[in-house]
Amino acid sequence: MAVPYACPICKANRTHFELIHKIAREIHKDPSTGETVYLAPELETLSRGGRPETDVRCLHCGYTGSERLFIRAALR
């Protein structure tokens, strides 16, 4: 899907970004010792409405925010 991005903060950057995907992993801890008693073997990509939950980082100013903010900024 070809969607342009623009940084909503510095506005100058429309080309260089990093995608940040959130990965969840279940962990169980012993509350008194802090020892890990279970660590899930599977990593789970967090998704919102079937799409991966993706943040975007501007490589120009370093701002990180939700992908939709970058898409909305590009529409202006």
Region near Zn ion per CB under 5 A, out of 6-14, 17-25, 36-44, 65-73: 6-14
Asked if 7 touches Zn ion (CB under 5 A), the answer is yes
Q: Which of 43, 42, 64 is nearest to 54 (CA)?
A: 64
Which position has the token pair 């903060």? Answer: 9
62 near 14, Cβ under 8 Å? no
Asked if 17 touches Zn ion (CB under 5 A), the answer is no
For residue 42, count CB atoms less than 10 angstroms from its CB and return exposed for 0-12, middle for 13-18, buried for 19 or more.
Answer: exposed
Asked if 10 touches Zn ion (CB under 5 A), the answer is yes
Q: Of 14, 55, 57, 60, which one interacts with Zn ion (CB under 5 A)?
A: 60
Asked if 13 touches Zn ion (CB under 5 A), the answer is yes
Contact residues: Zn ion, CB under 5 A: 7, 9-10, 13, 58, 60-61, 63
